[in-house]
Chains A and B, each alone.
Chain A
Amino acid sequence: MDQTDAANVLKDVSSELLTCMQCGTCSGSCPSGRYTSMVTRKIVRMARVNKRVLKDINLWMCTTCYTCQERCPRQIKITDAILAIRTITVHDGCILPEHRRVSQLVLQYGHAVPINDAVKQKRKKLGMEALPETVHKYPDALLDVQTILKSCKFDELVAEGQEE
């Protein structure tokens, strides 16, 4: 997806993006920005004019806390815009290795955080069944989850070897 397509996607999410006056309330409110290299104000500016935004690691330092979006004096849906930019980058094949791994866990187990032996023991200690009443306990339910993920082509999206 090139920058023009990206701009169109972003306009759908937040047409107000173009009204940004670069006041910096977003950056000043950002819990990540205090401790990381993330500058939300720059991301908003780059999203409009600069191609490099799609490869910017700072996109992934957003915890999606929505504080910037709540406080923006122009009511720009900043967090939603960051999520939309992420979608474009992921569909371009740029996924952080750890996120690819978590996605594989969902494909395999239906859980982003599957159970392990230590937690099974904890559950027993609490007088609970080792497996919870989720896809972990019901193979048919897991199969359903895998079927719809395949229907959405999520397996292809997060497959290994898709790095650019």
Chain B
Amino acid sequence: MKKLSLYLGCITPNRYPGIEKATKLCLDKLNIDWVDLKGASCCPAPGVFRSFDKTTWLTLASRNIILSEEMERDVLTICNGCYASLADANRELKEDHTLKKSINFHLDTIGKSFKGSVDVRHIIELFYDELGPQKITKMIQRPVNLNVALHYGCHLVKPSAERKLGSTENPTFFDELIEATGAKSIDYPDKMVCCGAGGGVRSALLDQSLAMLNHKLARIKEAGVDCIVNACPFCHLQFDSGQAEIKEKLGIEYNIPVLHYSQLLGLAFGYSPQELGIDLNLITNNEFFETLKKSD
């Protein structure tokens, strides 16, 4: 595995720092060589900023990648949105010399230039490809006895022509990583459907965004799970903050805890929910914390 730099994005460090802490704890436990990607900015978000102005999107994204190039490390993302922006920008600039030249014109104003010397990885595909579920199972210390509703999130697997991670309708690689922790991935209708946050919908059209979320939450509730697990802080925010907003606007209370995969894996490494910041979500379900205690 190549050495990595950890790219945080916006929502992880600035809204759900527990995900950042859990990720760093897990990377250390797995003996992965990583450092902070210092001075990085917004990726910028693929749905909104890419559609506003492609040059701006590519320039800002490539600056983040260059910071990692300077350390000769691959970029590690823990967010589907950041992955979409950085991996797509990296690929487009590597493939299109003319495009690279036009973006380097802007980067020259800060004395930088994109070389195309590193790759962009998502923590889930990295764990699956470089370690694999069996190796993770061997390394964990406290198998987690939880029923999990897994949410892949759209940009981890789509567009498939770019991601090349197999089926977008019925993928299994992330489920295998869930089960590697001892948890059980429970199937539910519309599992692969969007959480409703992306593309600027959540920021500009909250009611429509929450209608989509409510559909998913209802299906997840029916499945009878202990928690939702994702690998995207924006989906995480939608599921967690969105439950509070749905309670306020629609009077429906789901009370389903939401965990990033790093936090689930952190539990399996023996860390407490408090050490992983799971108790810092808006939705804190005491029953869930009791379930975790019982499995000790």
Our count of residue pairs bridging A and B at CB distance below 8 angstroms stands at: 218
By a CB distance below 8 angstroms, the chain B residues around A106 are: 41-42, 44, 49, 60
Contacts of A137 in B (CB 8 A): 38-39
Q: Indicate which residue in A34, A64, A70, A116 contacts B199 across the interface (CB closer than 8 Å).
A: A64
Say yes or no: is B132 at the interface (Cβ < 8 Å to chain A): no
| Complex Cα gap A90–B201 (Å) | 15
Residue of A nearest to B206 (CB): A98
Q: Is B201 within 8 A of A133, CB to CB?
A: no
Per a CB cutoff under 8 Å, which of B17, B59, B194 touches A152? B59
A61 at the binding interface (Cβ < 8 Å): yes
A79 at interface by CB-CB < 8 Å: yes
Q: How far is the CA of A132 from the CA of B169 in the complex (A)?
A: 36
Q: Is there a chain A Cβ closer than 8 Å to B131's Cβ?
A: no
B50 within 8 A of A: yes
The answer to whether A99 touches B203 (Cβ under 8 A) is: yes
B18 sits at the interface (CB 8 A) = yes
Closest chain B CB from A37 CB (angstroms): 9
Q: Closest A residue to B154 by CB, please name it.
A: A65
Q: How distant is the Cα of A52 from the Cα of B153 in the complex, in angstroms?
A: 32
B286 contacts partner chain A, Cβ-Cβ < 8 Å:
no
Judged by a CB distance under 8 angstroms, whether A126 is at the interface is yes
User: CB distance A152 to B55 under 8 Å?
Assistant: yes
A 52-102 contacts with B by CB, 8 A: 60-67, 69-70, 79, 82-84, 86-87, 90-91, 95-99, 102
Q: Known A126-B17, A134-B40, A135-B39; judge A64-B110 contact (CB<8 A).
A: no
B212 lies within 8 A of A158 (CB): no
> Contact partner of B14 among A84, A113, A145, CB < 8 A?
A113
Q: Chain B contacts of A142 at CB under 8 A?
A: 41
B11 touches A91 (CB 8 A): no
Closest Cβ–Cβ distance, residue A47 to chain B (whole Å): 14
The reply to whether B42 and A69 contact each other, CB–CB distance below 8 Å, is no
Q: What chain B residues lie within 8 Å of A95 (beta carbons)? A: 52
* A49 → chain B closest CB, angstroms: 22
Chain B residue numbers with a CB within 8 Å of A140 are 39
- Whether A98 lies near B204 (C-beta < 8 A) is yes
Shortest beta-carbon distance from B167 to chain A in Å: 10
Which residues of the other chain, B, contact A86 by a CB distance below 8 angstroms?
51-52
Query: With a CB–CB cut-off of 8 A, which chain B residues contact A97?
Result: 204
Residues of B within 8 A of A103 (CB): 48-49, 52
Q: Which residues of A contact B277 (CB under 8 A)?
A: 122, 126
Q: Is A66 a contact of B14 with CB atoms below 8 Å?
A: no
A/B interface sample: 25 pairs, CB < 8 A:
A31-B194, A31-B212, A34-B212, A61-B208, A63-B196, A64-B155, A65-B194, A66-B159, A67-B168, A70-B168, A79-B159, A87-B54, A90-B51, A91-B53, A103-B48, A106-B44, A111-B10, A112-B44, A114-B14, A132-B14, A133-B8, A133-B39, A145-B41, A148-B63, A148-B106
Using a CB–CB cutoff of 8 Å, the interface residues on chain B facing chain A are 8, 10-11, 13-15, 17-18, 20-21, 36-42, 44-56, 59-60, 63, 106-107, 109-110, 112, 154-155, 158-160, 168-169, 193-194, 196-201, 203-205, 208-209, 211-212, 215, 275, 277, 280
Q: 14 new A-B pairs (CB below 8 Å) besides A31-B212, A84-B51, A135-B39?
A: A34-B215, A60-B200, A60-B205, A63-B47, A66-B154, A67-B168, A82-B51, A102-B203, A112-B45, A123-B13, A128-B21, A132-B14, A133-B13, A134-B41
